[in-house]
Structure 1
Amino acid sequence: MQKFIALWQHRYRKYTHLLKVYLHFLKVYCRILLLKIRFLGKRKIVGIILTQQFGDIVAGEPISRQIRNQHPDAYILWIVKPVFRELLENNLSLDGIVEEFCANQRRLLIHSGVFDILYNLQFRNNSYCPVCEVYVENPVADAKDITIHNYYFQGNLLTVQQKIAGLPTEDLAPNLFITDNHRARIDGLQLPDNYIVVHGQSVQNSRNWDSQKWEQLIQYLIDKTDLSIVEVGLSSDLTVKNKRYINLCGELNLLETAEVIRRAKLFIGIDSGPAHLANAVGTFGVIMIGKLNDFINHIPYSGKYKSGENALIVRNTQGPSSEIPIEEVITAIQQNHLIPFIHHLG
């Protein structure tokens, strides 16, 4: 009986989910169809598909400007997961945003032919719905032999997206669209005037730095400087107890996090989404990057983080970033004079 109940519970969840998939698809399809009727062929409907990994979306923001330049009169829509919608709101290169319910809904939109032009920037490997048990293929990327296994051999994230889209491979810095509401929210936190932002936890554990090293680094910075330390991210497992350590993990949305980073004297973090925010807002970054699968000397960023003008990459080419010694990070900060008011070092 328990197996019978579990089976029908599974079926109920799956079929309910599938019903929602088709309802969401029809809602978007009809929305775009009405636009086409309204435009009477005078404006093309262009879709950009980059739905997840918010660092990829931040890095790919220049794509929207390039596509707008190529299609100045088009109606441009970006398809994205609802949780990352805020990154695209107020982007003047876009006319609208389509929220993705699941990868299967996206597959239906791709094959519907409702878009006049479609830029699909999402790989198959991160285009899977476990409920529908459906992968979404990207034949354009496959034809160019750009996959999740080799993409960093093609360049940084923006360059890879440009190549898939068939756009010029220009080194363009990303923009963010921080509003007065975001700034007012951070004003209300009454953060110290001088602080360093740290970010230490990614959803991909291989990118992380050990918690013990973070605690040692934070304590070192507190002992040797007059700065406060602000931690950002979804969550933290640090146990720092000091009035100059402020834990904002889980308290901010993405653009509020970006505004906190923008006001910081320095950003220290791992290769994850907030590092892309730091690049976009122009805060100097110390970024720890380890070997990632077969990628050894990859650089995810465009603009001044790519050139090194506004970032210092601390690498481990032999293994994960967790193995980067704390001494190496401290030495990099000291030797590059990244915090001019460090005092009494020793």
Structure 2
Amino acid sequence: MKKSLKNIEPEHILIIQTAFIGDVIMSTPLIQAVCDQWPDAEVDILTRPESAILFSKHPRIRRIYTLDKSGHQSKYESFMDRVRELRPNKYDVAFSIQSSLTSSLLMLLCRIKIRVGFYRQKFINVKIYPPKGLHIRQRYMAMIEPFTDKTYSDETHLYLGMKDKQKADDLVGKINKNRKILIGFAPGSVRETKKWPASYWTELFILLKDKGYDIVFIGSPSERELCATIIHNAGLEAWNAAGELNLLESAALIHKLDLLVCNDSAPLHMGNAVNTPVYAFFGPTVKAFGCYPYREHDKILERDLPCRPCGKHGHDQCPLRHFKCMMEQYPLEIAQLIFERFTHESKT
């Protein structure tokens, strides 16, 4: 589009973000910027069913629509249902955060005039060319730049409800009765090579408990067994909250922690969004991919190896069969980093 976009006043805006939970959280600065840029516009979201709850407490989101890519319906049926549902809303502007053909076709079929997306995406008429080397949240923020000269915050954020916070308060009250340091462990991930070994989590658990720290395990229902195994093998007590909390309740619990230790997975981004320090294990992935913990007191736990990175999303097994990127990050070394952190804090 050749005409200036700086003075447009859309009445109806659609934001499409159908990636996984971590990417959705990294989109929150852009979503907030869109809401702040056009405070009188009606802003709707299209996302995956599992991510919808992340926007349920957002004060400016009017409607949350979902596109189920792996449900009982075929992808085509689900897609056409959304087109029929969205077209009557007569959106003036749509932001497609993921560069997908599905999103492009949806915007075309919904007859949206201003279609914003990254330069490689098909059927986009406002193309975004972000600089290289940005954190993903900053890359997403580039999508608002054609519309304003203002600078908006690029910090991720989640809106939590009172019930979410109360559930976290109640749980912490049961775990952390003596006001000790409370550390969260999130040992799961979708891909096996993004997981620090379970036996190492057990050893780290023992080392931290010996120092008097309290531990709570966090994760999805599918990760509850992994957490239970780590606790059982340590022979110690810890609260296994994996599978007990929804995403916003989990975020509220993470907010109460003194530190979150996790893999390169969704809890990392939840920790950043609620301003809890994060120590994250990076194996097959690297900081250059842009999905790293970004706050001042965060740490990326990694080994410098010639075989890294071996894939943006990890693998089911190490391509070289040695898994050095995780196996050579030893529990005692990680424990020492944590001890030093809290020793330093106690002196300042």
TM-score (norm: length of structure 2): 0.69
Give structure 1 stretches of 5+ with no counterpart: 1-41, 129-133
* 3-state secondary structure, aligned to 1:219: helix
Selected match of 1:338 from 320, 338, 341: 341
* Structure-2 separation of matches of 1:215 and 1:315: 19
Report what 1:84 is aligned to: 51
Query: Once the two structures are aligned, what percentage of the paired residues are identical?
Result: 20
Any conservation in 1 of the 2:168–2:256 contact (CA below 8 Å)?
no
Any conservation in 1 of the 2:175–2:214 contact (CA below 8 Å)?
no
* 3-state secondary structure, aligned to 1:57: helix
Query: What letter matches 2:341 in structure 1?
Result: L
Query: What letter matches 2:201 in structure 1?
Result: W
Q: 1:204 to 1:99 in 2, by over 3 A?
A: same
* 3-state secondary structure, aligned to 1:230: strand
> 5 Å matches for 1:10-49?
44-49=11-16
1:282-328 Cα deviation digits (max 9, x unpaired):
11111112333xx5633425xxx42x512011124533686334655
Aligned-residue Cα RMSD (Å) equals 3.6
Deviation at 1:156, TM superposition (A): 1.7
Give structure 2 stretches of 5+ with no counterpart: 1-8, 70-77, 109-114, 123-129, 315-322
Report what 2:283 is aligned to: 290
* Structure-1 separation of matches of 2:47 and 2:329: 40
Deviation at 1:204, TM superposition (A): 3.0
Report what 1:312 is aligned to: 299
TM-score (norm: length of structure 1): 0.70
Q: 1:68 to 1:124 in 2, by over 3 A?
A: same
Report what 2:94 is aligned to: 118
* Structure-1 separation of matches of 2:191 and 2:119: 28
Q: 1:264 to 1:48 in 2, by over 3 A?
A: same
Report what 2:125 is aligned to: none
Any conservation in 2 of the 1:232–1:257 contact (CA below 8 Å)?
yes
* 3-state secondary structure, aligned to 1:46: strand
Query: What letter matches 2:165 in structure 1?
Result: R
Say yes or no: does 1:158 pair with 2:151. Answer: no
Report what 2:175 is aligned to: 191
Query: What letter matches 1:244 in structure 2?
Result: E
Selected match of 1:51 from 18, 22, 28: 18
* Structure-1 separation of matches of 2:274 and 2:24: 15
Report what 2:192 is aligned to: 205
Selected match of 1:70 from 19, 37, 49: 37
Moved over 4 A (4+): 105-113, 134-142, 151-154, 164-171, 325-330
Deviation at 1:154, TM superposition (A): 4.7
Selected match of 1:143 from 119, 133, 136: 119
Point out the more displaced range, 271-280 or 198-207. 198-207
1:5-41 Cα deviation digits (max 9, x unpaired):
xxxxxxxxxxxxxxxxxxxxxxxxxxxxxxxxxxxxx
* 3-state secondary structure, aligned to 2:269: helix
Deviation at 1:141, TM superposition (A): 4.2
* 3-state secondary structure, aligned to 2:262: strand
> 5 Å matches for 1:222-301?
222-223=209-210, 225-234=211-220, 235-236=223-224, 237-238=226-227, 239=229, 240-241=231-232, 242-292=235-285, 297-301=288-292
Question: How many pairs were matched up?
Answer: 285
* 3-state secondary structure, aligned to 1:162: helix
Q: 1:110 to 1:72 in 2, by over 3 A?
A: same
* Structure-1 separation of matches of 2:87 and 2:281: 40
Query: What letter matches 1:57 in structure 2?
Result: V
Any conservation in 2 of the 1:231–1:246 contact (CA below 8 Å)?
yes
* Structure-2 separation of matches of 1:199 and 1:50: 24
Any conservation in 2 of the 1:50–1:79 contact (CA below 8 Å)?
yes
1:136-170 Cα deviation digits (max 9, x unpaired):
79995453579xxxx99552221222235556786
Any conservation in 2 of the 1:284–1:310 contact (CA below 8 Å)?
yes
* 3-state secondary structure, aligned to 1:212: helix
Deviation at 1:135, TM superposition (A): 8.7
Deviation at 1:51, TM superposition (A): 2.6
* Structure-2 separation of matches of 1:169 and 1:188: 38
Any conservation in 2 of the 1:64–1:93 contact (CA below 8 Å)?
no
Report what 2:205 is aligned to: 218
* 3-state secondary structure, aligned to 1:95: strand
Any conservation in 1 of the 2:138–2:154 contact (CA below 8 Å)?
no
Deviation at 1:98, TM superposition (A): 2.0
Deviation at 1:255, TM superposition (A): 1.2
Say yes or no: does 1:61 pair with 2:28. Answer: yes
